[in-house]
Amino acid sequence: MSIAVIGAGAFGTALAIALSTNGDRVALWARDADAVAQMTASRENTRRLAGVTFPDSLDVTARLQDVFACDVVLLAIPAQTLRGFLEEHRDALQGKALVSCCKGIDIETGHGPTDLIARIVPNSTPAMLTGPSFAADIARGLPTALTLACAHEAAGEMLQAVLSTPTLRLYRTTDVAGAQLGGALKNVMAIACGACMGAGFGESARAALMTRGFAEMKRLAAAFDGDPDTLAGLSGFGDLALTCTSDQSRNYRYGFAIGAGTDFDSTVTVEGAATAKAVSKLAEKLKIDLPICAVVTRLVDQEITAQQAMQLLLSRPLKEE
């Protein structure tokens, strides 16, 4: 079965490298023709994932027709650009298995990645690949486990078999709502934890944020009939633990810069910033209490400082856990 990866950022490149080690040819699409030429000549992505050589079975292309000829298409593009890409190419994507590899909530519609796929490309098989993973680890063949979420069980079994590798182990679920919300909200919590550490509040405060943040993740997922067990798995707790504790996480680094009052590279995609705003809109509409998401939204909008955010959380009414 032919596989393509749309998006030659660090994560898309890492997935293409890992999948091409299975012996199948994999097409990696990049929008920038110069970047394609560089990767083709050097056989590595020096801009995003330097030091990892491409397998011979990985083909880099700037031609979308090469991608649209494949059966399985992994969408490794930012969450806030996914809707536009799907709308632009909906006809060419019909009938394919479309696997979202981004984690976020569309700020305009409030939909998650698989929801967008199902609505915009109805004659396709929507799925999502999510869980605790850094691009460098996947690309270098370090052992990684992820969640493959697909509402159609038979299609999920097929994708699990096609996308698993000797070092990339996929666990399957039909709980798409839980998986996509876990992946989205953990980025918001990573910003909160980064701000906590950047401001010097300490490890105990971070542990509290992670725990109460996990409660918010479960609360929102329940409103969409997500299974609590899904949130306790790789796509929820597992991803939360990784991104809230490592400076390899872009969302964590972004939050750390906010807490420390330092500059952050504006060219780096931080999915949690837009997701915090999208989730806050959802929470208001559904009347769900998500205080950490709310203060992260205000931090991102520069309405409050990390010190004010922590004071807002600490001054909330006392209650049972």
Query: What digits encode the pLDDT tens for the residues 245-258?
Result: 999 999 999 999 99
- pLDDT tens digits, residue range 37-70? 999 999 999 999 999 999 999 999 999 999 999 9
**In which residue are the tokens 């991608």 written?**
67
**Residue type, position 277, single letter:** K
Residues 138, 190 within the same domain: no
Q: Does a structural domain hold residue 321?
A: no
Q: Are 256 and 195 in contact (CB under 8 A)?
A: yes
Given a contact cutoff of 8 angstroms between Cβ atoms, the answer to whether 30 and 98 are in contact is no
**Does the active-site annotation cover 186?**
yes
Supply the pTM of this predicted model. 0.96
For strands 144-149 and 125-130, give the pairing.
antiparallel
pLDDT value at residue 145: 98
CATH code of residue 61: 3.40.50.720
Percent of the chain with pLDDT over 70: 100
pLDDT at 106: 96
**CB of 125 within 8 A of CB of 96?**
yes
∠ CA 269-271-273, rounded to 5°: 105
State the pLDDT at residue 214: 98
% of residues, the chain, pLDDT over 90: 96
Region 159-187: mean pLDDT is 97
User: What confidence category does residue 1 fall into, taking pLDDT thresholds of 50, 70 and 90?
Assistant: confident
Work out the mean pLDDT of the chain and round it to a whole number: 96
CATH of the domain at 232: 1.10.1040.10
Active-site hit among 186, 218, 277, 319 = 186
Distance CA(207)–CA(240), nearest Å, equals 11
In this structure, the number of other CB atoms found within 10 A of the CB of residue 300 comes to: 21
Residues 170, 267: one domain? no
Q: Which amino acid is at 76?
A: A
Looking at the structure, do residues 36 and 168 belong to the same domain, yes or no? yes
What pLDDT is recorded for position 23?
81
Burial of 224 from C-beta contacts in 10 A (0-12 / 13-18 / 19+) = middle
Instruction: With respect to residue 320, please indicate whether it lies within any of the assigned structural domains.
Output: no
Say what the pLDDT of residue 318 is.
87
Same domain, 149 and 10: yes
> Do 159 and 208 sit in the same domain of this protein?
no
pLDDT of residue 242: 98
Q: What is the DSSP letter of 85?
A: H
pLDDT score of 84: 98
Q: How many CB atoms lie within 10 A of CB 226?
A: 22
| pLDDT for the residue 189 | 98
CA distances from 15 to 135, 147, 283 (A): 8, 14, 33
Confidence band, pLDDT 50/70/90 cuts, at residue 182: very high
What are residue 20's DSSP bridge partners? none
Q: Could you identify the residue written with the tokens 């396709």?
A: 124
Going by DSSP bridges, is the β-strand pair 168-173/97-100 parallel, antiparallel, or unpaired? unpaired
The residues, ordered by sequence, that sit 6+ positions from 241 with a Cβ below 8 Å of its Cβ are 132, 210
Q: Which two tokens stand for residue 172?
A: 């399957």
pLDDT average, residue stretch 6-21: 97
- 119-137 burial, b at 16+ Cβ within 10 Å, e below that, comes to ebbeebbbbbbbbbbbbbb
Q: Tell me: the pLDDT tens digits for 266-291?
A: 999 999 999 999 999 999 999 999 99
pLDDT score, position 231: 96
Residue 41 belongs to some domain of the structure: yes
Q: Is the pLDDT of residue 24 over 90?
A: no
Q: Which among 121, 141, 174 is the end of a domain?
A: 174
**Would you say residue 275 lies in a domain?**
yes
Residue 70: per-residue pLDDT: 97
Query: What is the model's pLDDT at position 115?
Result: 97
What do you get for the CA distance between the two ends of the chain, in Å?
49
Please give the residue range of the domain that contains residue 161: 3-174
Identify whether 51 is part of a domain. yes
CB distance 114 to 127 below 8 Å: yes
Cβ neighbours around 47 below 10 Å, total: 16
| pLDDT single digits (tens) 303-321 | 999 999 999 999 999 888 8
Residues 193, 64, single domain; the answer is no
Can you give the pLDDT at residue 22? 85
Domain total of the chain: 2
